[in-house]
Every structure is written in structure tokens, then in C-alpha cells.
Chains A and B, each alone.
Chain A
């Protein structure tokens, strides 16, 4: 079956530091890839997505590139802010004729200090 493995946390950074959260996946067919974010006390919301190989998703200064050759979708941000403190989930959606079932990584807690 499909699976997602993401970097274990928690990750603690100072403001303006560079962020990378690694994510690799195993899937059959052609999945779509997403990063969801959960801010403290809030529900999950989409951060960015990429639907095919070599696509780059970007939003709020975050980027991730769909790498089929390495089955990866690492999340990066050049300069984090305190407001980026949240839990980040790498997510795979089965593609092709599959059901569209979502598979989540275990989540990475990010804390950014001033």
C-alpha cells in the first residue's frame, strides 16, 4: 500500500533560519502530493500541492518539488517566522484509477523562537 515518511520532530529554529522538512513516499500509479499545516488550536489546512512530477508547489514562502526519481516532496522555507510554528503533514493522494484515498505522514512539529 501507499505510505508517507516524514522527518521526525520536533524541529526548533530561530526566526529567519532556513527550514527543511524531509518527506518521502511509496505509491503505485501517479499520486498527488500535498503539505497540510495545523496551527495551534486550528484545523488542518492546505499549505501547498503538486500534482505531477517536477511540479513545484509554493505558498507563504514555502516550497516543495515533486521528485519522482527520489520519491520525495521536501518542504523548504528560506526564512521562518514565529508565526510558522505549527504541525506540518506531508500527504499523498492516490492517483489514476485508485480511489483518491489520502495517506498522511506522522507530522512534524515546528517551533520558531524569536
Chain B
């Protein structure tokens, strides 16, 4: 079974620039999660989708972060404009159902200079 795919794996940008990350979940997984993992900390949930609907985006900084999952499969997370404190690994995860085991992708390491 193929795992969760993410791209790009690494991204370096200047502050105030925009960046987008892409995630392809495991086939058949209805629930998709985006996490932010700052160095030395555990993952923090940014947004959770069930199919193409948002279940929880309470921790998403909506003034600069946005995410969509238009067709209920792939998802894109965007940051515009980026700040230095956005430097982190952005992990995508998926699960078969809302309470199912979460499988993580390899992450995108973002560096904001």
C-alpha cells in the first residue's frame, strides 16, 4: 500500500513570500490532517478535513494560512505571507475514518529567511 505523499520535501523562501505544500493521502482515506512541527516539539494540528469538509481549523492562523481539499482527495496548504516563525516541518497525515490510525507523510521542511 502506498503511503502519504508530500511535495516538495524542502523549501527555502524569504519572509513575506508565499509557499504552497501538496499532500496526497492514502487511497480511500477520508480524513486528512495538516500538522506543523517546530524543531524540538511535537506536531501541532493546523487543520483537519473529512472528505472535502473542514472538521477543525481552530489552530490555523487564518490571516496567513489557508488549506483546501476540493475533491476530497489531495490537499494543498498555503502560507501567504510567510514569517520567520513559520520555519518548521509541515506534516500531512491521513486516516480511514475520523478516529482511525493516522499515517504520516514524510513532511515538507520549510525554512523562512
A, B: real partners: no
Chain A residues close to B by CB (< 8 Å): none
Chain B residues close to A by CB (< 8 Å): none
